[in-house]
Chain A
Amino acid sequence: DAGITQSPRYKITETGRQVTLMCHQTWSHSYMFWYRQDLGHGLRLIYYSAAADITDKGEVPDGYVVSRSKTENFPLTLESATRSQTSVYFCASSEGTSGTYTQYFGPGTRLTVL
């Protein structure tokens, strides 16, 4: 199916472990984003990418690493998970040429760090 998908949908891990969250979109959108959603904070930008091999930090990048070797994929890695990274993570994408910058969101990954 076309669209934006995330995997896994749910993940439980332990402090100190490395975790990778996957994001895949089928629209060939230039821009992709990772947000985390925490109660009372809305969504906050972790990292974004304007194109393959171009990434940059958002508001809360510490403890996260991203890569984008292909336009359609934008994985997010927690190098050494901490309890404060327990959250719901959303991936989004948008066209590069659209003037309105509308973003389309995946279903989210609920991550629990014990």
Chain B
Amino acid sequence: GNSVTQMEGPVTLSEEAFLTINCTYTATGYPSLFWYVQYPGEGLQLLLKATKADDKGSNKGFEATYRKETTSFHLEKGSVQVSDSAVYFCALSDTGRRALTFGSGTRLQVQP
């Protein structure tokens, strides 16, 4: 079945540091890939997505590239801010059920 593996957290960075959160997946077919963000006490918000190999999703300074050869979708940001502190979830779509399979989430803490 489908699965998503994310790096364990928490990840603690200083403001303006470079961020990478690793995500690898196992899936049949050609899933779409997503990063969702969850701020404290809130629901999940779509951060970015990619629908096919070599696509790059980007939003709010975050980027991730769909790498089919390495089955990865790593999240990066060049300079994090305190306001980026949240839990980040990598997910892939199930083309049959349309449901998402999520990784366990990575908590990011950015210190001023």
Contacts and interface: CB of A to CB of B under 8 A. Distances in A.
Interface residues of B, number: 23
B100 A43 contact: yes
Interface in A86-114: 90, 92, 94, 99-108
Interface string B68-112: 000000000000000000000100010101111111110000000
Contacts of B46: 102-104
B104 A107 contact: no
A105 B93 contact: no
For chain A, what secondary structure do more than half of its interface residues adopt (helix, strand, loop), or is it mixed? Answer: strand
B43 interface: yes
Contacts, number: 59
Interface string B17-46: 000000000000000101010000011111
Interface residues of A, number: 26
A90 B44 contact: yes
B58 interface: no
Given A31-B98, A42-B103, A94-B98, A101 B44 contact: no
Given A48-B99, A102-B46, 6 more contacts: A42-B103, A48-B98, A58-B97, A92-B100, A100-B32, A101-B100
